[in-house]
Amino acid sequence: MKSRIVAASAIVLTSALALAACSGGAGDTAASGAASGSGDGDYTIAIVPKDATNPWFVRMEAGVQKYAADTGMNVFQKGPSETDATMQAQVIQDLIAQGVDAIGVVPVDPGAIEPALKEARDAGIVVVTHEGASQENTMYDIEAFNNAKYGAFIMDNLAQAMGEEGIYTTMVGHVTNASHNEWADGAVARQKEAYPNMTLLEAEPRVESQDNGETAYQVAKEVLKKYPEVKGILGTSSFDAPGVARAIDELGLKDKVFTAGTGMPAANKEILDKGLVAALTLWDPADAGYAMAALATKILNGEEITDGVNLGVKGYEEMHFSEGSDKVLEGNGWIQITKDNVDSFGF
């Protein structure tokens, strides 16, 4: 492991440079691009997901392990046992105590982990995030895409399923999740712009699944029973659309109520094949895990992080700063999953 002095120096250098400047999938990523600038292989980089058991983050770990294999560095993933901000903060504090060189985090609640990330930064540890555009104590945040555009993409899928008319509502994993709310906001903006015969449910325009499939299912049932006029529920968490689809099936509302949102291919093959959801949207979390580790390495190496930076994995080869930001980097990594291509992804 590099000494803390080296890591701290890299932070100072990178910060100064930043101020001056302002699906092959991870499994197929060659040890090139980001990996070619991996230093001497002595860095220890930890990726902290929302939790350790969610299939989404199990897939992310595959990308983290791929990066470790490509570079020979000590790169690993460690998350809390459940999606809990306090538990995630404790994992971060444990990593600080271990003296890692860099931490990449997918925040449960950006505000709740600010103190822990500040502690990491103060200790000279490089901090990067994914799905944490509002995070203050991070050097850079990686987004697989522009969040508003991704939300619009989800809305296009829902609108097509609904025949571009009817009442709908939006579901987020947590009301504190910055990215989920940005996707939902982008979806609503797209609806208002492109689908005038669709209407957002005024009484409950946004509901919460707590990033839990059972909760998504129960909340969807409550919404559909309370508001029988609702024809669509747009999800953001990977648990939302599958949970809504289960409610649609149980209530006998197939072809009457529709959903769209993020979801894993293999885990949702059945609902796609049954037509309970026409399409799901996704980015490969393995690629995001790889990209976080690659970005952390570049920072540790003292490289200048400029607009167009290549993180060495498909969808992240040309990252651009979000409009008005010198911290949030956006890629072009979304994909659409249907019954016709669900078997082609390998996860």
Quick one: what percent of the chain has pLDDT higher than 70? 88
Mean pLDDT value of segment 10-19: 36
CA 61 – CA 47 distance, rounded (Å): 8
For residue 202, the 8-state DSSP code is: S
Q: Is the pLDDT of residue 112 over 80?
A: yes
Which band of pLDDT confidence, cut at 50, 70 and 90, is reported for residue 8?
very low
Q: Is the pLDDT of residue 70 over 90?
A: yes
Three-class DSSP category at 219: helix
Is residue 151 within 8 A of residue 170, CB to CB? The reply is no
Which residues contact residue 168 at a Cβ distance below 8 angstroms, ignoring those fewer than 6 apart? 158, 162, 191, 198, 199, 200, 201, 230, 231, 232, 233, 234
CA 217 – CA 177 distance, rounded (Å): 19
CA 86 – CA 72 distance, rounded (Å): 32
Phi/psi of residue 129, nearest 5 degrees: -135, 165
For tokens 């015969």, name the residue.
197
Q: Is the pLDDT of residue 36 over 50?
A: no
Closest by CA to 224, choosing from 254, 191, 194, is: 254
CA 229 – CA 256 distance, rounded (Å): 10
Angle between helices 240-250 and 213-226 (to 10 degrees): 50
CA 239 – CA 298 distance, rounded (Å): 33
CA 281 – CA 193 distance, rounded (Å): 21
CA 44 – CA 1 distance, rounded (Å): 6
Three-class DSSP category at 104: strand
Averaged pLDDT of the chain: 89
What pLDDT is attached to residue 346?
81
Mean pLDDT value of segment 72-79: 97
